[in-house]
Amino acid sequence: MSAADAQRRQLVKAYFSNQKEASEVGEAAIHRKGFGYEIEGLSQNAIIAMTKEAGTPTPPSLGERWGLLR
């Protein structure tokens, strides 16, 4: 077992009190469409802000470094 797999198993043990509960959640995730959670009722501005926050920051461009762009 790889170190990453061992770490995942420890995380699962921390979240679920027993094997049955963890298995039920895993089984439900397999049958759910897509991955993750569905979130409703967010404004477009909130979605854009969260996307920017979750994105990988990029270094300043050459124009920004030289002060030509903001």
pLDDT in single tens digits along all 70 residues of the chain: 677 777 777 776 677 777 788 778 777 776 766 566 667 788 888 888 888 888 777 888 888 889 888 7
pLDDT at 20: 82
Asked whether 38 and 30 are in contact (CB, 8 A), the reply is: no
Closest residue by Cα to residue 61 from 70, 51, 48, 50: 70
pLDDT at 26: 73
φ, ψ (nearest 5 deg) of residue 27: -65, -40
φ, ψ (nearest 5 deg) of residue 39: -120, 125
C-alpha distance from residue 53 to each of 39, 63, 66 (Å): 17, 23, 25
Rounded to two decimals, the pTM is: 0.30
